[in-house]
Chains A and B, each alone.
Chain A
């Protein structure tokens, strides 16, 4: 029955295919702009007639420019009249000064013919495939009756996905590989889903047939190690690091974000929610702590603490990075080009960049060393006090005031940072974190909204007793708004200072006087000044305790994480276009808006980061789902369906399987409701994935890069996986999750950062053996063995790691103490028998999940015997590896063998 049905479909489809071929072969038929014309233009014309250069006033990026008048006053393309079109005339021109492309090879006759026909047919402009998404994609027909492929089909096709792959293989006259051996696929899928080799019990349950492949996959997907594995992928894109970057590269407390990613992946948070929480968690109604932590995604931008740098310059750099990263991560689009000029080849305009930037340009972070706003994590006891304040304000005040207090207690914003103080007399904006005043010092804070409050809050450090501070309105003669005396504070502290109520924006003139100190000696450091509407219920019993609890909470030191927080109305920034990308030269003011080429904006969305994130995960967005599908595919197969995984656009490679990309994208949104786990499952359940990864000569010749998938993936493991796997098979791996970054052993002297006292303090106990995702990540000095195995330094968004193969990698796995310790661990686990062959076979199998072959056993046995005789002849108790103790000669020889096993290509590779 099934066969008949498929046959029917095939016959039908056959007609479609024949029809399609006929269309292609029929010379006079309609030329397609997107597939036939645009590639010619992009390759030959766009660099001089595109978004950057518009030579002779002619550009081929947008339809109206291409068909509009050029500098000559006439259009270069006249639809319907190729012979009258300057474009065609120039392509055929014999005078080299006039022929296009200028000083380049002439276009081929076929190309000129295509362009001619296209113009004669009306020069119809088409949209690039990447900027529209079909509404549905049908499965390709089954090829059961088609020749030689047929025999393999029943073995190959496991899910609908395989039909797309098979259709292409059939077209190329290739047959797929048989399925991989059970032990091989079990190791492969465990490494892909959890980053670790399979646990013994699961491996045995599957290989002995107790459970199905699907059950094994489900079991792996439910493990917490899944989130740890896939987090590395996301953290590369999020540019997660435990340091701030730039010169001093000081530490940053942001591991809560890394842990949030692991949890979200393990809970399989739908990708639309995952997106909204990270881009705009703070703008969601009544956001939870977790939703605020998620916004640290965009606080992973670097923070420049170098003396003499301009905070505003680096704040702008961070905002630009957020725009670029958002488009790289969700849209596979390098929008950064548009910062300086129109996009050279994709349809985005210069001002559209700044309209996007306007979404991001209104957050409170200002590149100050404290990285404020930082979310505070109060202890349960402290939280009780904080809750009392919040409850009081909610009970006695309006909703807006309650929100102000909740936010201020969470992340101490909005406040005016010290770098806004200016016009110093006897004082200076000094150490990049605070402003100082000396005796008889003064400074001005401009355009302050005091919120009609009767108190001013100030974070300061007072170095002497008896400094009189005065705050006046506007200038030295202005009305006194506050006058108070500060005594030595022994460190920085936040104080509540009585303030005269005024209901207007004003400049504050601030003075400090202390006769008792010498000239040019710091009397006080000011970090910030803030105003918040008064705590309501001043006449109610208990008010004074609440007021005190509020100030106490502000002074409570806690663990923190940097978060996003929007400027209040009175501090709102405007966004202007930068001329040629120069932040100092601004022109037109712009409002938030998404690029016209992409999906439309829904009027119900707020014009802020939340609206932008809704726009990104709208089912009408042509790039978000495709981007995710392409990258998940890349993680599993080592390459994307669109091979340029950073870029899906007019300059990208065409997809190897366009219909499959769209089919998976539509299923992700419609069937799987944005579930990443479901997408991953869909891919690893396929017969395409489950093939053996052996290459046959004719296959290699035809498809060296495996773009057609007639074999399974065979890829070197990632930096983290190589380490994790070595620790796992040697029994050392800790399963402890979350928390601050750990510091496994690394050679002395690797950290030498300027102006920094930060030290690599080797972790103790199980923290030495945690998974790589928890290794302390310092931008200017990445953990050396990870760097060697192609992990990046996380300064900017990284979509993929280029896999290299170098001698320095061999040195890591041969000599790095981590791998020596793992070798010793494996040796201990191997040491079960008096028969060395049994021990070697056991160790090999434990590491590779394969039975050893005679040749391999012979090679390792030889190594064992060489080692044993050398160790036995060595009378002295020489130290071995980096161990404290000297093992027996037998154990030492096994450790050498184990070291070799941990260096085998098959161990370092997922086959």
Chain B
């Protein structure tokens, strides 16, 4: 058995880097403070007192698939917070100001724009609809922001806008999949899965890829927008919830104290060690490690998911509603999670599908409400990360799965009760902020009515290439072999959007 240990260690030593020590110490220090589950070859032993001095190398990838890996290039950011407005927000009422569209309000949409085109619900000849919000130029950058977002102007100089993003999908499910996995069909890994596969996580007591949802529903495309596709399932997003267990099965059952759980895991691991002595299968060592991590996670997750202990001014800044599942809460949680070293935090806020068929789903009322719900929390998130010095290590991405038409929706060829816009993939706005991003930039421009990009058009693959670039990857090199060929997030496309890089 000794020979075997030596063997495995030799194999693993090759990968052992200085960085191991960093997260290793973090695990111990940030974790339980001396949980005495360590064995002869496991656990926290930063001083090297145990008899096998290089024991820590067992926490590398073979034993822990989320062990930190350095990216191939120098990264601009360590973590990503991706804010997805599920249902697709209207760029025309938020950031893409089109005064000319005002002038044409109520007129028939030109046939040239409709010929050979398919829309999700628009039939026949719809009418153009002017912006339903007031716009002003804000900050030193002078970028346009609507009055639906009164707080956001405080941080407008922190972000870089992409005004002419386009997608070829105009139904929610496929478009969300495309936005998060680079393919409109199911089966590909999401961006967060790629990031954790490539980089592991900085904090071994928390999942590396956390998903938070608000708005009462998961996204239309379901959980596959944070799935791992053909990557090992350990890289899929872990949904953390504000109600019930923050992570499924994280809480001990009734009658089991922490001490008793510790005794349980102690007994399991003692027996597993004997099993390892008999079978020599390194998977057993990995399992021992996972049980120790699970125990630590049981403390770390509820701790990080608890926003009650945050100072009052921080709670007010975000506008949190403790106990509820809200976007504001999720923004505050996102900050706490990246602070703790979580690699990828994905927020989905549902309810942005403003067709005008119902009040909540209307441009003039529903959209305004949704904007109010996100305005303060997003502003707070940027300011809070900044004041903590975390913004430069974090990338924030904001967007939907597509944009909305400059035309008013006329579902079923009828005039509808409320003002609405149909799905539109030709041009929509996204923005990024944080490390490596050119502050106050605005890239891309749409035509006078905001129908299509006329300059600086960027694709979903370009957005992905840029995110991976900021994390320290060449998007063409981050691949996974499956079905006989290497797959990548950007398929065979993608150009880094250099115009918004600092």
Q: Which residues of A contact B (CB under 8 A)?
A: 245-247, 249, 302, 304, 306-310, 317, 334, 337, 344-346, 424, 428, 430, 520, 644, 646-647, 649, 651-652, 693-698, 700-701, 714, 716, 747-750, 752-754, 779-782, 784-785, 787-788, 790, 793, 795-796, 802, 804-812, 814-817, 820, 853, 855-856, 859-860, 862-863, 866-867, 870-871, 878-882, 892, 896-897, 899-900, 903-906, 908-909, 911
Q: CB distance A307 to B255 under 8 Å?
A: no
Q: CB distance A899 to B284 under 8 Å?
A: no
A878 to B249, CA, bound (A): 20
With A749-B243, A882-B253: A863-B267 Cβ-Cβ less than 8 Å: yes
With A695-B4, A804-B232: A811-B250 Cβ-Cβ less than 8 Å: yes
Q: List 7 A-B contacts (CB under 8 A).
A: A750-B248, A752-B216, A781-B222, A807-B291, A810-B290, A814-B249, A871-B255
Q: CB distance A805 to B216 under 8 Å?
A: no
Q: Which residues of B contact A696 (CB under 8 A)?
A: 4, 280
Q: Name which of B16-24, B292-300, B313-321, B452-460 contacts chain A.
A: B292-300
Among A306, A344, A753, A809, which residue has its beta carbon within 8 angstroms of that of B217?
A753
- Among B173, B222, B232, B261, the one with the most A-chain Cβ atoms within 10 Å of its Cβ is B222
A810 to B286, CA, bound (A): 12
Closest to A695 in B: B280
Q: CB distance A748 to B186 under 8 Å?
A: no
Which 6 residue pairs are nearest across A and B when measured between Cβ atoms?
A780-B222, A308-B120, A651-B484, A810-B294, A880-B255, A695-B280
Q: Which residues of A contact B298 (CB under 8 A)?
A: 811
Q: CB distance A855 to B270 under 8 Å?
A: yes
Q: CB distance A694 to B278 under 8 Å?
A: yes
Q: CB distance A859 to B267 under 8 Å?
A: yes
* Closest beta carbon of chain A to B276's beta carbon, Å: 8
Q: CB distance A896 to B220 under 8 Å?
A: no
With A430-B412, A753-B218: A317-B185 Cβ-Cβ less than 8 Å: yes
Q: CB distance B263 to A866 under 8 Å?
A: yes
* Closest beta carbon of chain B to A807's beta carbon, Å: 4
Q: Which residues of A contact B3 (CB under 8 A)?
A: 697-698
**Mask of B47-78 contacts with A, CB within 8 angstroms, 1/0:** 00000000000000000010000000000000
Among B65, B213, B250, B254, which residue has its beta carbon within 8 angstroms of that of A752?
B213
Q: CB distance A904 to B271 under 8 Å?
A: yes
- Is B32 an interface residue, CB under 8 A from the partner? no
Among A346, A694, A754, A814, which residue has its beta carbon within 8 angstroms of that of B279?
A694
Q: CB distance A856 to B7 under 8 Å?
A: no
Closest to B483 in A: A334
With A779-B222, A790-B233, A807-B291: A700-B4 Cβ-Cβ less than 8 Å: yes
Given A695-B281, A810-B294, A815-B251, 18 other A-B contacts at CB below 8 A? A246-B173, A247-B173, A693-B281, A697-B280, A752-B216, A781-B222, A788-B233, A796-B187, A802-B232, A802-B233, A807-B297, A811-B249, A815-B253, A862-B263, A866-B263, A878-B254, A880-B255, A900-B271
Within 8 A of A (CB), among B1-45: 1, 3-4, 7-8
* Closest beta carbon of chain A to B50's beta carbon, Å: 20
A275 to B99, CA, bound (A): 63
Q: CB distance B244 to A307 under 8 Å?
A: no
Closest to B254 in A: A879
With A651-B485, A753-B217, A754-B217: A815-B271 Cβ-Cβ less than 8 Å: no
- Is B272 an interface residue, CB under 8 A from the partner? yes
Q: Which residues of B contact A867 (CB under 8 A)?
A: 260, 263
* Closest beta carbon of chain A to B457's beta carbon, Å: 19
Closest to A249 in B: B222
Q: Which residues of B contact A782 (CB under 8 A)?
A: 223
A780 to B187, CA, bound (A): 12
Q: Which residues of A contact B414 (CB under 8 A)?
A: 520
A345 to B483, CA, bound (A): 12
Closest to B222 in A: A780
* Closest beta carbon of chain A to B233's beta carbon, Å: 5
* Closest beta carbon of chain A to B296's beta carbon, Å: 8
Q: CB distance A866 to B260 under 8 Å?
A: yes
Inter-chain contact count A-B, CB under 8 Å?
A: 253
* Closest beta carbon of chain B to A228's beta carbon, Å: 23
Q: CB distance A697 to B121 under 8 Å?
A: no
* Closest beta carbon of chain A to B268's beta carbon, Å: 5
- Is B109 an interface residue, CB under 8 A from the partner? no
Among B244, B286, B293, B350, which residue has its beta carbon within 8 angstroms of that of A754?
B350
Q: Which residues of A contact B482 (CB under 8 A)?
A: 646
A787 to B224, CA, bound (A): 12
Q: Which residues of A contact B186 (CB under 8 A)?
A: 245, 302, 795-796
* Closest beta carbon of chain A to B269's beta carbon, Å: 9
A796 to B186, CA, bound (A): 7
Q: Which residues of B contact A308 (CB under 8 A)?
A: 119-121, 170-171, 423
Closest to A817 in B: B253
- Is B164 an interface residue, CB under 8 A from the partner? no
Q: CB distance A247 to B187 under 8 Å?
A: no
Q: CB distance B412 to A811 under 8 Å?
A: no
Among A245, A701, A747, A879, which residue has its beta carbon within 8 angstroms of that of B255?
A879
Q: Which residues of B contact A302 (CB under 8 A)?
A: 186
Q: CB distance A697 to B290 under 8 Å?
A: no
- Is B136 an interface residue, CB under 8 A from the partner? no
Closest to A866 in B: B263
Q: CB distance A649 to B484 under 8 Å?
A: yes
Closest to B225 in A: A780
A306 to B281, CA, bound (A): 48
- Among A694, A697, A753, A788, the one with the most B-chain Cβ atoms within 10 Å of its Cβ is A697
With A345-B484, A807-B294, A815-B251: A749-B267 Cβ-Cβ less than 8 Å: no
Q: CB distance B249 to A815 under 8 Å?
A: yes
Q: Which residues of B contact A520 (CB under 8 A)?
A: 414
* Closest beta carbon of chain B to A593's beta carbon, Å: 23
Q: CB distance B297 to A855 under 8 Å?
A: no
Q: CB distance A428 to B123 under 8 Å?
A: yes
Q: Which residues of B contact A716 (CB under 8 A)?
A: 283
A811 to B219, CA, bound (A): 26
Q: Which residues of A contact B270 (CB under 8 A)?
A: 855-856, 859
- Is B371 an interface residue, CB under 8 A from the partner? no
Among A245, A695, A697, A905, which residue has its beta carbon within 8 angstroms of that of B275?
A905
Q: CB distance A644 to B484 under 8 Å?
A: yes
* Closest beta carbon of chain B to A579's beta carbon, Å: 15
Closest to A893 in B: B260
- Is B241 an interface residue, CB under 8 A from the partner? yes
Within 8 A of A (CB), among B406-436: 412-414, 423
Q: Which residues of B contact A246 (CB under 8 A)?
A: 173, 221
With A317-B185, A753-B218: A806-B268 Cβ-Cβ less than 8 Å: no
* Closest beta carbon of chain A to B465's beta carbon, Å: 19
A906 to B287, CA, bound (A): 11
A785 to B233, CA, bound (A): 12
Closest to B264 in A: A900
Q: Which residues of A contact B247 (CB under 8 A)?
A: 808, 811
A695 to B4, CA, bound (A): 9
Q: Which residues of B contact A882 (CB under 8 A)?
A: 253-254
A787 to B270, CA, bound (A): 28
Q: Which residues of A contact B499 (CB under 8 A)?
A: none
- Is B439 an interface residue, CB under 8 A from the partner? no
Q: Which residues of A contact B108 (CB under 8 A)?
A: none
Q: Which residues of B contact A878 (CB under 8 A)?
A: 254-255
- Is B252 an interface residue, CB under 8 A from the partner? yes
- Among A334, A430, A905, the one with the most B-chain Cβ atoms within 10 Å of its Cβ is A905
Q: CB distance A700 to B271 under 8 Å?
A: no
Q: Which residues of B contact A309 (CB under 8 A)?
A: 120, 171
Q: Which residues of B contact A430 (CB under 8 A)?
A: 412
* Closest beta carbon of chain B to A186's beta carbon, Å: 18
A573 to B35, CA, bound (A): 68
With A695-B280, A863-B267: A780-B484 Cβ-Cβ less than 8 Å: no
Q: Which residues of A contact B483 (CB under 8 A)?
A: 334, 646-647
Q: Which residues of A contact B293 (CB under 8 A)?
A: 807, 810
Within 8 A of A (CB), among B160-191: 170-173, 185-187
